[in-house]
Structure 1
Amino acid sequence: MIIRPVAHHDLDALQQIAVESGPGFTSLIDDRTFLRDKIQHSIDSFARRVYEPGQESYLFVLEDEDSGELMGTTGIEASVGLSSPLYHYHKSRVVHHSSELDLFNSVEVLNMCNHYTGCTEICTLYLRPRFRRANAGKLLSRVRFLFMAQHPQRFADTVIAEMRGISDDNGESPFWNWLRVHFVNLDFATVTHLSGAGNKRFIAELMPKYPLYTNLLSDSARDVIGQVHPGTRPALAMLEREGFRHKDYVDLFDAGPTVEAERSQIRSIAQSRQCRIQVLDADTAVLDPGPVCGEGEPLLLANTATDGFRATITDQARYLPEHQLLQIPADLAAQLNLEGGAIARFLPLNASSGEHQATEHWSSPSATRFSSLNRSNTEEFRHAL
C-alpha cells in the first residue's frame, strides 16, 4: 500500500469512490467536472511554495502497488471557510427564569455559526469496502499528521474533522428530514451535493437564522444530534486516541459531531521522528554500532517531499537512535522515492496509544536523562488534552 498525491489519471476511480461513499460524504461528489477541478486544485496546492496556510487542498490516494487500483482517499484542507462559509450548529443551553413566579427552565438550543473559519480540516477519508485490510485505515488517517509534522507552515494551529452523522441505507437523515419539513424542501442527497460543490447560498437564504430549540424537534431528529454514522465510528475512535475532542459543534445537515485538536498536541505529530535513511542492498556497508530499535515492528514511513510525497506502513525497517538513522531495504526506498542519506519521517504504529513504553522503546537506552524528560513531557501532554 502506497500513499501518494492524487493525479489526473485517478479521475475514473475517484468518481467511483464518490458513488460508493454515498450521500453525506460531501467532500467527494459524483460530478466529473467537480472532481477534475478538485484534482487540479490539489496538484497546484502540493506544488505551491507556502509560508502560511491559505486555500490549499491536499488530496491523497491509497494505491495497491500490485494492482495499481485505488483503495481509498484522504485529504487536508489547509484553511477552511475563507472563500465559502463553513457553517455549524453550536449546541448550548439557555435559561429562562422568573423569580416572581418561582419558575426555572433550562433548554438546549442550536445556534448557527462560523466558529471554525481559518482552521485546518482533515477530510475525505474513505476506504473502499473490498480493500479493507490490516492497517489500511490507520495509514489513511495518520499519514495526514506526518505530512503536517513535516510541513507545519502549511497548516493552522487548530485542526478539525467533521464526522459523518446518522443517515440510513437510503441516504435519509432524521435531522435533515425535520429541517426539510419546516424550512428547506430539498432532499438530503440534494443539499449535501450542493454544499459539497460549494453552493452554500441556499443556507443563508433558507435556513433558520434564530436558535433552534431542540425540544421542538422530533424525537428522531433530536436523538441523532452529535451522533456518528456507524461506518464512521472507527475513524472517530482513531481521532479520539490522537487527542481530538467534540466541543458541541455539529453539522448543519445531519448533526454529526465536529471534533478538534491543537495541531502541536496531536499525538502522531508530537511522537513522529525525523531521521536519515540508509538504504540496504547486497553491496551496502551496514552501519550498525549501538542499539537497534523496532526491528520487525510496523511503522508509518514517509519521505519529506510535497508534490513527490510517498508514504507506507512497513515492518522492514530498523532504527539506530544514537545516529537518528533508519535502515530500510532498497525496494522499499525505491517505492518511497528515498535515496541513501535522504531525510524521512516515521511514526511507530503503537505510538498514538499514549503509553510511555511506546516512546521509550524507540529511544536510545543510553540516553537515560532524555528518556526521563520524555516521560515527564508525555505525562504533561496526556493531561493537557
Structure 2
Amino acid sequence: MIIRPIAHQDLPALQAIAIESGPGFTSLIDDHEFLVNRIQHSIDSFACPVQSPGQQSYLFVLEDEASGEIMGTTGIEASVGLSSPLYHYHRSRVVHHSRELDLFNSVEVLNMCNHYTGCTEICTLYLRPRFRRAHAGKLLSKVRFLFMAQHPQRFADTVIAEMRGVSDGAGESPFWNWLQAHFVDLDFATVTQLSGAGNKGFIAELMPKYPLYTNLLSEPARAVIGQVHPDTRPALAMLEAEGFRHKGYVDLFDGGPTVEAERDQIHSIAGSVPCRIQAIARDTAVLNRAPASAQGDLLAIANTRCEGFRATLTRQAVYLPEHDVLQVPAALARSLNLDDSAQARFVRLAPAAIGRQSHTRTGPGQTRQPRQEFRYAL
C-alpha cells in the first residue's frame, strides 16, 4: 500500500468513491466537474510554495501496489471558511430565572456560528469496503499528520475534523428531518450535495438564525446531536487517541460532532521522528542487521517531499537512534522515492508482535490505537 497525491488518472476511482460513500459525505459529491476541479486544485496545492495556510486543498489516494487500484482517499483543507462560510451549531445552555417567582430553568440551545473559520480541517477519509485490511484505515488517518509534521507552515495552529453524524441506510438523518419539516423543505441528500459543492447561500437564507431550544426538537432529532454514524465510531476513537476533543460544535445537517486539537500537540505529530534513510540490500554493510524473519514495530514512513510525497507501512525497518538512521529494505526505499541517505519521517502505529524484539524507538506521546478498522471517518 502506497499513499501519494491524487492525479487526474484517479478520476474514475474518485467518482466511484463519491457514489459508494453516499449522502452525508459532503467533501465528495458525485459530480464530474466538481471532482475534476477538486483534483486540479489538489495538484496545484501540492505544487505551490506556501509560507502560511490559505485555500490549499491536499487530497491523497491509497494505492494497491500490486494491482494499481485505488483503495481509498484522505485529505486536508489548509484553512477552511475563507471563500465559503463554514457553519456549525454550538451547544450551550441558557438559564431562565425569576427571583420573584422563585423559578429556575436551565435549557440547552443550538446557536449557529462560524467558530472554526481559518482552521485546518482533516477530511475526505474513505476506505472502500472491498479493500478493508489490517491497518489500511490507520494509514489513511495517520499520513495526514506525517505530512503536517513535515510541512507545518502549510497548516493552521488548530486542526478540526467534522465527524459524520447519524443517518440510516436510506440516507435519512433524524436531525435534518426535523429541520426539513420546519425550515428547509429539501431532503438530506440534496442539502449535503449543495453544501459539498459550495452552494451554501440557502443556509443564510432559510436556516433559523435564532437559538434553537433543543427541547422543542423531536426526540429522534435530540437523540443524535453530537453522535457519530456507527461506521465512524472507530475513526472518532482514533482521533480521540490522538488528542482530539469535542467542544460542543455540531454539524448543521446531521448533528455530528466536530472535534479539534492543537496541531503541534497531536500525538502523531509530536511523536513523529525525522531521520535519515539507509537503504538495505543483501550486500549492504550495516551496523545492526535484523534477522530476515524479524518483525519489528509497525511504522508509517513518509518521504519529506510535497509534490512527490509518498508514504507506506512496514515492519521491516530498524531505527538506530544513536545514529538517527532508519534502515529500510532497498525496494521499500525505492517505492517511497527515497535515495540512500535521504531524509524521511516516521511514526509508530503498533508495537512488535509479543515475543519478538522491537527494533524501533519513536518519540514521546505515542498512544495505543484501537484495533478496529473503518470505512470512512468524515
Relative distance call for 1:378 and 1:237 in structure 2 (3 A) is closer
* Residue 361 of structure 1: how far off its partner (Å): 6.3
| Residue number in structure 1 paired with 2:43 | 43
| Residue number in structure 1 paired with 2:323 | 323
**Separation in 2 of the partners of 1:360 and 1:157?**
33
* Residue 297 of structure 1: how far off its partner (Å): 2.0
What is the TM-score with the length of structure 1 in the denominator? 0.90
SS at match of 1:349: strand
* Residue 282 of structure 1: how far off its partner (Å): 2.9
| Residue number in structure 2 paired with 1:136 | 136
Residue identity matched to 2:111: N
| Residue number in structure 2 paired with 1:81 | 81
| Residue number in structure 1 paired with 2:213 | 213
| Residue number in structure 1 paired with 2:354 | none
Q: Deviations over 1:304-351 (max 9, x none)?
A: 001100000101110111000011111101110000010000011138
Residue identity matched to 1:107: V
* Residue 360 of structure 1: how far off its partner (Å): 11
The number of residues matched between the two structures is: 358
SS at match of 1:107: strand
| Residue number in structure 2 paired with 1:254 | 254
Structure with larger RCO (C-alpha < 8 A, sep 6+)? 2
| Residue number in structure 2 paired with 1:164 | 164
**Separation in 2 of the partners of 1:186 and 1:323?**
61
Contact kept, 8 Å, 1:295 with 1:319, in 2: the verdict is no
Any unmatched runs of 5+ in structure 2?
A: 352-357, 368-378
| Residue number in structure 1 paired with 2:25 | 25
Any unmatched runs of 5+ in structure 1?
A: 352-358, 364-370, 380-385
SS at match of 1:274: strand
| Residue number in structure 1 paired with 2:174 | 174
| Residue number in structure 1 paired with 2:104 | 104
Q: Deviations over 1:239-292 (max 9, x none)?
A: 000000000000000000000000011000000000000111133222349xxx
Relative distance call for 1:378 and 1:268 in structure 2 (3 A) is closer
SS at match of 1:248: strand
| Residue number in structure 2 paired with 1:229 | 229
- Report the aligned-residue RMSD: 1.9
Q: Deviations over 1:164-191 (max 9, x none)?
A: 0000000000000000010000000000
**Separation in 1 of the partners of 2:79 and 2:227?**
25
Residue identity matched to 1:19: I
| Residue number in structure 1 paired with 2:122 | 122
* Residue 295 of structure 1: how far off its partner (Å): 5.8
SS at match of 2:60: strand
**Separation in 2 of the partners of 1:110 and 1:336?**
47
* Residue 378 of structure 1: how far off its partner (Å): 8.5
Contact kept, 8 Å, 1:80 with 1:86, in 2: the verdict is yes
Contact kept, 8 Å, 2:297 with 2:360, in 1: the verdict is no
SS at match of 2:228: coil
Q: Deviations over 1:170-225 (max 9, x none)?
A: 00000000000100000000000000000000000000000000000000001100
| Residue number in structure 1 paired with 2:374 | none
| Residue number in structure 2 paired with 1:266 | 266
| Residue number in structure 2 paired with 1:362 | 361
Residue identity matched to 1:240: E
Residue identity matched to 1:224: V
**Separation in 1 of the partners of 2:309 and 2:366?**
29
Residue identity matched to 1:237: A
Greater share of helix: 1
Percentage identity across paired residues of the two chains: 77
| Residue number in structure 2 paired with 1:184 | 184
What is the TM-score with the length of structure 2 in the denominator? 0.92
Contact kept, 8 Å, 2:297 with 2:350, in 1: the verdict is no
| Residue number in structure 1 paired with 2:308 | 308
